[in-house]
């Protein structure tokens, strides 16, 4: 085991406190390796391990030493909070100093993805990277066509270094117009195609704000917008959506930036949609996490805290913007140009929410990967800055994509049959955006990624998720379902109650809070069993036919096989029933004793569930047209624990999966 | 639900309004609709005697007896004719104990925890009054419940302060000195006016279309409904924990013992006893712990959320109970045999029903009005095969374990299916529910088809498995 820095990599007799009840603590040993913090419990029968990737660490806090030792609080970007008590102050300080260094790498090469080796050969790695192909995606949308074409104006990032090399623009927009327009836009992010609806020729384009100041104009930029409008012959105007609050946009004018003047551009309708900036969002999340961390809060504490954080209000604002755009495209048949300031945060959120509402393809697992790759990765969402992969300016950090992922979850709650993937899929995507275990989300732009040769040196997350897709399917999804096929129309009027706190994400490590039984897992098991039995029936039917003469014999075989089956199915469902007592210690302070075995019981039950489902997975993944999705109705959060393959431990099961292959 | 009608002509409108007003608040129980409702497919007597207390008594050890002391409702007007009491206490002592408890509601057995033989009792508050009166028979009754050296818990659903104040009006609580082996725990639960106001505010908030997202959560908070849900669940869990984990007997009471007391005892049983989580078991639980136990349905469920201020007795305790059950069903989606639809139907029927089940305030009143002879039972209708199917939970699978819910605020949600029933469209959720049903039924049929002569042994095997795993 590599030891970091000059500290010793091992501290004994460390206590890991339970976040819900501080009296419950596990004694064990803490290890620091080059990539992980590992806590191994001493309890001989469990030896439970907690693994945390250094890149997941968001903050480390050393608290005042107490009689019992020196408390160290590690907050993770995936919302895990680890509370350790280290007996010696000196050890604690060493650990603290080492972690500060380890959690804030300064070079990309220090990140886990450069050392992570799932033992795949070169070919498999390349195939993994090819799983998501954006040219294919634009072809799927029906492009190039009579109105739209691919432009190589940015082939060596000469026009805009945060855009991809391949950009889709209206056919009538010449290189001269594009370059001219780019000079009139912040960071030269000119209007480019994000989504095209071939049914009615409408498009969603994206850009950054114009450098209009109080009165500046740019002929090429005006021509660019006109070209976009004309690429949709069905409509005589174009929506320009500025996702910022009006006040922010006006303030930008003083700095020579701003927004489009309706008088200068022919036939545009300009619209503000007030989504707050990254700093407001960062603070909002911070406040909400403080609420999540409260020790036995009352209902009022929780609801007040949640409202004061403003988080759900922001989520709703993003959704409303997406709904507005989807409506313009699907119902009014009007194309939309979206921008914010730089056009890489709010613009990405809003374009991808709108695409998700409009196109059922993005609600499939593959389509969702394509969507993130298209609207976020290729268009230069600054993953490195926003998610703090390398040590950088803390003011650049903001949960922008987290908010998009939450929007998807909120939609899944409203449309339980519409998505091919389930909640666990979203949680794992979020986890890996921060984990730096795969190369997909490294750096701030395609240009940087190419320079680092990411595809040759790291692996793609999408291939990893795709391989385990059986874990991520929504059992309620049916490709022939009405919800699946059409545009989604979320309710808008007076539907505040539809936006709910996502405990499956923000309290996902507090397993006791989640529904104790996972409907998703159960239904997946049921589906699988049904299918197995049907296959079996078929096989037996054939056999029956061929063995008609020896009928009596055959019967025996049949009943025997069924008995086996039955047991298999039942045990699956029964294990998922396992439930464990919870602590009501907050209300039982005066109570004398409690049973010690609870935690263990839960763990063993969970492990069993996992084993059981795992063992059945291979059959499932053989059928790729099996469905998927999100459960809901009465239960949320399959993250309940059981079958989360990787998160808890960051590394162990991910690696285990790979090693097994 | 609000119906908006447009009626031409002011006078006609007023006439209709006053007729509706008069018709919707008929004073005489005997004039109510259930006495005239005669569905063709049901027999009048069906469903009335599905859950006799005698049958419940059969599961209980010999230390208890079935007493018919209340045959003529003389000992306690709000108790049913038969009650289960300690075998060692005779009817005479019971009569004396009854005089020491408000409304005559002396401690009776509510639940017997078969796993370890502990019991949950319920009663009303003792009438200690300002002079700290004692009653030997009451002390004896509670004393015989505990074996040598055992200790029990009294869960008082009022705050210590409120319990003390109740002495001024003749009530009070069990003093430590007179009941040395009982430890008192105070867990205040709201009832009466404040609960009714909370309900009315919540319904207002849910119907307020002008509300924006940044005000919604504080509005929800100010209704306090979810706080009440959390408190009720926590207290029920506490009672369950005392029985199951501490292996101690529990006595639950508040003031009258007809509201929060029943809320706690009924919920605790649902948490502890898998038998109560079946459709029939749940009906039996409601019959025993709410209807026969004398929850005054007629007073509490008259006007729902739009009640006039003058109806002082109105309070949605039963609704609060249903909400808590819904929270349990959300956290344990496989453990209850019935689904949300049953809870909604029960809510509807508690407030306005064609059936006699929720009529009146107690067994005595129902006896006087001959409810059982001249109205239909809701249970008879619910248990019709065609009807019953609607209420079953397709995911149900027997779960022998105690279901310990989470009572963290993050785990408690607003019951949208009820409070937004007429506001949001549930189209997509219904579709999802249908899909779940389809998946599970598919599975069942293919199991049946292929299993042909399948053995009924399988369930036994799996219970054994579960045992091992634990």
Per the annotation, does A391 bind a ligand?
A: no
| Cβ separation B412–A519 shorter than 8 A | no
Query: Which of A90-94, A212-216, A497-501 is predicted with the least confidence, judged by mean pLDDT?
Result: A497-501
Name the burial class of residue B153, with classes exposed (0-12), middle (13-18) and buried (19+) by CB atoms within 10 angstroms of its CB. Answer: buried
Q: What is the ipTM of this complex?
A: 0.86
Cα A90–Cα A93–Cα A95 angle in degrees, nearest 5: 110
Tell me if B306 sits within 8 A of B200, measured CB to CB. Answer: yes
Interface contact A414, partner B, CB < 8 A: yes
How close does chain B come to A530, measured CA to CA in Å? 5
Residue B155 CA to residue B174 CA, distance in Å, equals 11
How far away is chain B from the Cα of A569, in angstroms, using its nearest Cα? 9
Average pLDDT across each block of 10 residues of chain B; the chain has 470 residues. List them in order. 56 63 60 65 69 78 86 91 90 91 92 91 92 89 87 92 89 89 91 86 83 86 93 94 92 91 95 93 93 88 60 84 95 91 90 82 86 83 87 88 90 89 77 82 62 38 36
Cβ pair A183, A229 in contact under 8 A: no
Q: What is the spatial order of strands in the sheet that A25-32 belongs to?
A: A49-53, A36-41, A25-32, A10-17, A81-86, A70-76, A57-62
Checking if the pLDDT of A280 tops 90, the result is: yes
Residue A632 with chain B: CB contacts under 8 Å: 429, 432
* SS3 at position B65: strand
A340 assigned ligand-binding residue: yes
Out of A58-62, A134-138, A303-307, B455-459, pick the least confident.
B455-459
A416 touches B: beta carbon within 8 Å? yes
**Which residue among A299, A522, A577 places its CB closest to the CB of B226?**
A299
pLDDT interval class at A319 (50, 70, 90) = very high
Identity of the residue in A499, A501, A592 whose CB atom sits nearest the CB atom of B213: A499
Tell me whether strands A167-170 and B182-186 are parallel, antiparallel or unpaired. Answer: unpaired
The sheet with strand A336-339 has its strands ordered as A192-197, A202-207, A336-339, A238-242, A268-272
Shortest Cα distance from A372 to chain B (angstroms)?
26
CA distance B338 to A606: 26
Which are the contacts of B36, defined by CB distance < 8 A and separation ≥ 6? none
Q: B183 - beta bridge partners? A: B153
The confidence score (pLDDT) of residue B33 equals 63
The answer to whether the annotation marks A278 as part of a ligand binding site is yes
**Residue B11 CB partners (closer than 8 Å, separation 6+):** none
- Average pLDDT (A310-315) is 94
When the pLDDT of each residue in chain A is averaged and rounded to a whole number, the result is 80
Task: Give yes or no for A468 touching B (CB within 8 A).
Answer: no
| Cα–Cα dist A103/A111, whole Å | 10
Residue B233: closest C-alpha in chain A: A584
CB within 8 Å: A299 and B211: no
**Is A242 annotated as a binding-site member?**
no
B247 close to A (CB below 8 A): no
Which residues 174-193 on chain B approach chain A with CB closer than 8 angstroms?
Answer: 185, 187
Separation in Å, CA B322 to CA B280, B327, B337, B354: 16, 9, 15, 20
Chain A residues lying within 8 Å of B248, measured CB to CB: none
Catalytic residues of A, which ones?
340
What is the structure's pLDDT at A600?
31
**Residues B248, B150: contact at Cβ < 8 Å?**
yes
Identify whether the C-beta of residue B86 lies closer than 8 Å to the C-beta of residue B107.
no
* B61 contact A CB<8A: no
A194: closest CA of chain B, how far (Å) = 29
Across the interface, of B409, B420, B431, the residue whose CB is closest to A417 is B431
Largest interatomic CA distance in chain B: 77
Facing B221 at nearest CB: one of A303, A496, A593:
A303
For B96, the enclosing helix (H) or strand (E) is: helix B91-99
Q: Which residues of B touch A575 (CB under 8 A)?
A: 466, 469
| A521 contacts A638 by C-beta, under 8 angstroms | yes
Does A346 belong to an annotated binding site?
Answer: yes
Q: Do B443 and A562 touch (CB under 8 A)?
A: no
The dihedrals phi and psi of B209, each to the nearest 5 degrees, come to -80, -15
- In sequence order, the 6+-apart residues with CB closer than 8 A to the CB of B3 are none
Strand partners, A296: none
Size of interface A-B (CB pairs under 8 A): 253
- For A223-290, list the strands marked E by DSSP: 238-242, 268-272
Q: Is A218 annotated as a binding residue?
A: no
Of A20, A517, A578, the CB nearest to B333: A517
Distance (Å, whole) CA B259 – CA B315: 9
d(CA B58, CA B27): 40
* CA-based end-to-end distance of chain B: 47
Task: Quote the minimal CA–CA distance from A69 to chain B in Å.
Answer: 29
Q: To probe the interface with B, which of A574, A609, A638 has the most B CB atoms within 10 Å? A: A574
Shortest CB distance from B234 goes to which of A494, A498, A587? A587
Interface residue B418 vs chain A (CB under 8 A): no
Q: Which residues contact B345 (CB under 8 A, 6 or more apart)?
A: B382, B391
CB contact under 8 A, A512 and B432: no
Question: CA A93 from chain center: how many Å?
Answer: 34
Per-residue exposure over A486-510, b if at least 16 CB sit within 10 Å of its own CB, e if not: eebbbeeebbbbbbbbbbbbbbbbb
Per-residue model confidence as pLDDT tens digits over A249-271: 999 999 999 999 999 998 999 99
**Hey, is A607 helix, strand or coil?**
helix
Residue given tokens 């959560």 in the structure block: B217
CB contact under 8 A, B410 and A581: no
Cis previous bond, A144, omega within 30:
yes
Residue A520: how many CB atoms within 10 A of its CB?
29
CB contact under 8 A, A582 and B406: yes
In angstroms, rounded to a whole number, what is the distance separating the alpha carbons of residues B213 and B230?
Answer: 23
Question: Residue for token digits 């174009």?
Answer: A238
Stronger pLDDT, A602 or A324, i.e. the higher one: A324
Contact B213 A417 (CB under 8 A): no
Cβ within 8 Å, pair B237-A595: no
- Percentage of chain A beyond pLDDT 90 is 53
pLDDT in tens, A462-506: 999 999 999 899 988 887 776 677 788 877 655 677 889 998 899
C-alpha to C-alpha distances, B74 to A502, B135, B224, B369, B441, nearest whole angstrom? 54, 19, 39, 17, 52
Q: B340 CB near a chain A CB, below 8 Å?
A: yes
pLDDT tens-digit map of A367-407: 999 999 999 999 999 999 999 999 889 999 999 999 999 99
Which DSSP letter does residue A240 get?
E
Q: Do the Cβ atoms of B332 and A312 come within 8 Å? A: no
Determine whether the interchain pair A634/B187 forms a contact, defined as Cβ–Cβ distance below 8 Å.
Answer: no
Query: Chain B within 8 Å of A501 (Cβ-Cβ)?
Result: yes
Distance (Å) from the C-alpha of residue B183 to the closest C-alpha of chain A?
Answer: 10
DSSP calls for A189-231: ---EEEEEETTTTEEEEEE--B--TTT---HHHHHHHHHHHHT
Structure tokens at A140: 């799927």
Q: How far is CA A457 from CA A121, A387, A440, A536, B240, in A?
A: 12, 21, 11, 45, 57
* Residue A164: how many other CB atoms lie within 10 Å: 20
B-chain CB neighbours of A571 within 8 Å are: 462, 465
The β-bridge relationship of strands B250-253 and B152-156 is parallel
Contacts of B333 in chain A (CB under 8 A): 515, 517, 519, 633-635
| Residue B224 forms contact with A (CB below 8 Å) | yes
Which A residues in the span 97-126 are in contact with B, Cβ-Cβ below 8 Å? none
Q: Is the pLDDT score of A22 beyond 60?
A: no
Query: Where does residue A22 fall: left (phi above 0), alpha (psi -120 to 50 degrees), or beta otherwise?
Result: alpha
Q: Is the dihedral of CA A459, A463, A467, A468 positive or negative?
A: positive
For strands A70-76 and A81-86, give the pairing. antiparallel
pLDDT of residue A302: 94
* Residue A147 predicted with pLDDT over 90: yes
Tokens of residue B135, six digits: 């009653």
Tell me whether residues B213 and A316 touch, CB distance under 8 A: yes
Tell me what pLDDT residue A310 has.
94
* A contact test, residue of B153, B210, B239, B410 with most A CBs within 10 A: B410
Listed in sequence order, the DSSP H helices in B313-457 are 317-331, 340-351, 363-368, 371-374, 378-382, 385-391, 416-419, 427-451
A513 to B408: CB separation less than 8 angstroms, yes or no: yes
Contact: B450, A540; criterion CB under 8 Å: yes
What residues of chain B lie within 8 A of the CB of A312, using their CB?
Answer: 213, 217
pLDDT score at B177: 87
pLDDT digits (tens, 9 = 90+) for A564-604: 433 333 333 333 333 444 555 433 333 333 333 333 333 32
Answer yes or no: do A577 and B216 touch at CB < 8 A: no
Q: Residues 254..273 of B with a Cβ closer than 8 Å to A: which?
A: none
The values of phi and psi at residue A264, to 5°, are -85, -25
Is pLDDT at A625 greater than 80 in this prediction? Answer: no
Q: Does A517 touch chain B (CB under 8 A)?
A: yes
Put simply, the chain B residues between 348 and 377 with a CB less than 8 A from any chain A CB are: none
Q: What is the largest CA-CA distance in chain A?
A: 93
């Amino acid at each position: 085991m590599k030891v970091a820095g000059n500290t010793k990599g091992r501290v004994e007799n460390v206590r890991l406190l339970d976040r819900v009840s501080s009296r419950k603590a596990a004694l064990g040993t803490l290890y620091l390796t080059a990539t992980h913090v590992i806590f191994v419990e001493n309890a001989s029968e469990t030896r439970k391990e907690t693994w945390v990737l250094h890149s997941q660490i968001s903050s480390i806090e050393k608290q005042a030493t107490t009689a019992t030792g020196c408390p160290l609080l590690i907050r993770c970007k995936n919302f895990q909070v680890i509370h350790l008590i280290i007996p010696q102050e000196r050890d604690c300080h060493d650990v603290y100093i080492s972690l500060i260094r380890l959690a804030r790498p300064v070079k990309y090469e220090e990140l886990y993805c450069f050392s992570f080796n799932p033992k795949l050969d070169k070919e498999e790695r390349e195939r993994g990277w090819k799983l998501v192909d954006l040219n294919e995606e634009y072809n799927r949308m029906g492009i190039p066509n009579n109105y739209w074409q691919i432009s190589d104006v940015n082939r060596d990032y000469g026009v805009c270094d945060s855009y991809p090399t391949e950009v889709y623009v209206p056919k009538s927009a010449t290189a001269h117009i594009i370059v001219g327009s780019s000079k009139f836009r912040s960071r030269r992010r000119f209007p480019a195609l994000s989504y095209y609806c071939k049914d009615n020729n409408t498009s969603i384009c994206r850009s950054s704000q114009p450098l209009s100041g109080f009165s500046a104009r740019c002929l090429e930029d005006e021509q660019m917008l006109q070209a976009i409008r004309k690429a949709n012959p069905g409509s005589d105007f174009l929506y320009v959506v500025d996702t910022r609050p009006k006040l922010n946009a006006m303030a930008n004018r003083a700095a020579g930036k701003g927004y489009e003047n309706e008088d200068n551009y022919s036939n545009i309708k300009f619209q503000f949609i007030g989504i707050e900036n990254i700093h407001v969002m960062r603070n909002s999340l911070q406040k909400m996490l403080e609420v999540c961390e409260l020790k036995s809060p009352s209902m009022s504490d929780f609801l007040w805290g949640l409202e004061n954080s403003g988080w759900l209000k922001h989520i709703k604002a993003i959704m409303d913007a997406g709904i507005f755009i989807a409506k313009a495209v699907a119902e009014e048949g009007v194309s939309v140009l979206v921008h914010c300031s730089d056009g890489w945060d709010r613009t990405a959120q809003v374009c991808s929410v709108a695409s998700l509402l409009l196109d059922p393809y993005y609600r499939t697992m593959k389509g969702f990967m394509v969507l993130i790759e298209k609207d976020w990765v290729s268009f230069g969402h600054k993953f490195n800055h926003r998610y703090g992969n390398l040590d950088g300016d803390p003011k650049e950090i903001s949960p922008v994509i987290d908010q998009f992922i939450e929007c998807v979850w909120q939609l899944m709650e409203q449309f339980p049959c519409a998505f091919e993937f389930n909640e666990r899929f979203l949680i794992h995507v979020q986890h890996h955006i921060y984990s730096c275990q795969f190369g997909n989300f490294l750096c701030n732009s395609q240009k940087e990624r190419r320079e680092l040769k990411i595809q040759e040196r790291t692996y793609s997350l999408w291939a990893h998720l795709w391989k385990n897709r059986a874990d991520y399917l929504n059992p309620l999804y049916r490709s022939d379902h009405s919800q699946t096929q059409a545009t989604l129309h979320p309710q808008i009027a007076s539907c505040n109650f539809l936006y709910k706190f996502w405990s499956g994400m923000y309290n996902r490590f507090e397993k006791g809070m989640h529904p104790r039984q996972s409907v998703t897992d159960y239904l997946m098991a049921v589906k699988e069993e049904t299918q197995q039995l049907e296959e079996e029936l078929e096989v037996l039917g054939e056999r029956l036919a061929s063995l008609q003469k020896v009928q009596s014999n055959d019967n025996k075989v049949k009943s025997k096989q069924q008995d086996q089956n039955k047991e298999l199915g039942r045990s699956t469902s029964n294990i998922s029933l396992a439930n464990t007592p919870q602590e009501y210690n907050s209300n039982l302070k005066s109570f004398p004793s409690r049973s010690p075995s609870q935690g263990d019981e839960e763990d063993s039950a969970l492990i069993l569930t996992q084993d059981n489902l795992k063992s059945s997975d291979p059959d499932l993944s053989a059928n790729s047209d099996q469905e998927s999705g999100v459960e809901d109705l009465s239960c949320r959060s399959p993250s309940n624990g059981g079958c989360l393959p990787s998160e808890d431990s960051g590394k162990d099961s991910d690696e285990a999966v790979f090693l097994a292959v | 639900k609000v119906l908006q009608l447009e009626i031409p002509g002011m006078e006609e409108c007023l006439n209709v309004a006053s007729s509706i007003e008069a018709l919707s608040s008929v004073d005489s129980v005997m004039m109510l609709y259930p006495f005239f409702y005669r569905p063709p497919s049901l027999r009048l007597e069906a469903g009335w005697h599905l859950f006799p207390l005698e049958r419940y008594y059969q599961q209980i050890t010999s230390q208890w007896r079935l007493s018919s002391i209340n045959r003529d409702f003389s000992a306690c007007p709000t108790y049913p004719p038969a009650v289960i009491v300690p075998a060692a206490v005779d009817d005479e002592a019971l009569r004396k104990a009854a005089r020491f408890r408000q409304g005559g509601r002396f401690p009776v057995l509510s639940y017997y925890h078969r796993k370890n033989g502990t019991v949950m009792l319920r009663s009303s508050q003792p009438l200690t009054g300002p002079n700290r009166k004692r009653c030997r028979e009451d002390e004896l009754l509670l004393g015989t419940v505990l074996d040598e050296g055992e200790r029990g818990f009294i869960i008082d659903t009022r705050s210590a302060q409120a319990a003390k104040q109740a002495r001024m009006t003749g009530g009070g609580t069990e003093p430590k000195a007179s009941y040395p082996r009982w430890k008192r725990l105070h867990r205040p639960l709201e009832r009466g006016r404040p609960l009714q106001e909370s309900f009315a505010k919540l319904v207002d908030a849910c119907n307020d279309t002008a509300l924006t997202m940044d005000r919604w959560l504080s509005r929800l908070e100010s209704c306090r409904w979810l706080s009440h849900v959390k408190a009720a669940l926590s207290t029920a869990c506490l009672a369950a924990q005392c029985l199951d984990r501490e292996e101690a007997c529990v006595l639950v009471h508040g003031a009258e013992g007809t509201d929060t007391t029943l809320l706690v005892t009924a919920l605790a049983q649902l948490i502890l006893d898998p038998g109560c989580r079946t459709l029939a078991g749940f009906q039996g639980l409601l019959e025993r712990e709410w209807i026969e136990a004398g929850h005054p349905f007629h007073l509490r469920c008259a006007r729902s959320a739009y009640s006039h201020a003058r109806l002082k007795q109105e309070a949605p305790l039963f609704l609060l109970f249903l909400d808590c059950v819904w929270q349990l069903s959300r956290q344990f989606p496989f453990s209850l045999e019935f689904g949300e639809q049953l809870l909604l139907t029960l809510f509807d029927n508690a407030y306005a029903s064609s059936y006699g089940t929720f009529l009146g305030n107690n067994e005595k009143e129902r006896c006087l009005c001959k409810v059982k002879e001249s109205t239909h039972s809701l249970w008879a209708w619910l248990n019709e095969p065609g009807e019953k199917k609607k209420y079953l939970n397709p995911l149900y699978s027997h779960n022998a374990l105690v279901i310990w819910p989470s009572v963290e605020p993050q785990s408690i949600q607003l019951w949208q299916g009820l409070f937004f029933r007429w506001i949001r469209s549930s189209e997509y959720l219904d579709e999802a529910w249908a899909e779940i049903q389809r998946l599970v039924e598919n599975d069942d049929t293919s199991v049946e088809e292929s299993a042909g002569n399948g053995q009924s042994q399988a369930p036994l095997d799996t219970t054994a498995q579960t045992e091992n795993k634990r």
